[in-house]
Amino acid sequence: VLFLGAYFVYLRWKNSVEERLIPVRRRILKAWEKLESNDVQGALNIYRILKREYKELGKREKSAVYEDMTKLYRELSELTQGAKL
């Protein structure tokens, strides 16, 4: 259930970020398509990509994705039972 929640957060994120993030979206989408429903490590890898890219966003772009990033972080933390993200 948490995995599905994280997936829906990801889909909203994918549609909400600015045009310059299209290459990032492609990488994340490619990684997500390879995931199996119980692939915690894969989900963590996707989160790490999002986190790294988030740090490089401009102020306006950050405000557009901050809420989704926070929610995804919480859901992945629960999914991995506190594994270090």
Each domain of the chain, given as residue ranges in start order, spans 2-79
pTM (2 d.p.) = 0.43
Percent of the chain with pLDDT over 70: 32
Q: What is the pLDDT of residue 51?
A: 75
pLDDT in tens, 51-61: 777 777 766 66
**Confidence class for position 22, pLDDT limits 50, 70, 90:** low
CA distances to 5, 37, 67 from 61, in Å: 23, 29, 11
User: Are 61 and 17 contacting, i.e. CB atoms less than 8 angstroms apart?
Assistant: yes
Say if residue 85's pLDDT is above 50.
Answer: no
Q: What is the pLDDT of residue 45?
A: 76
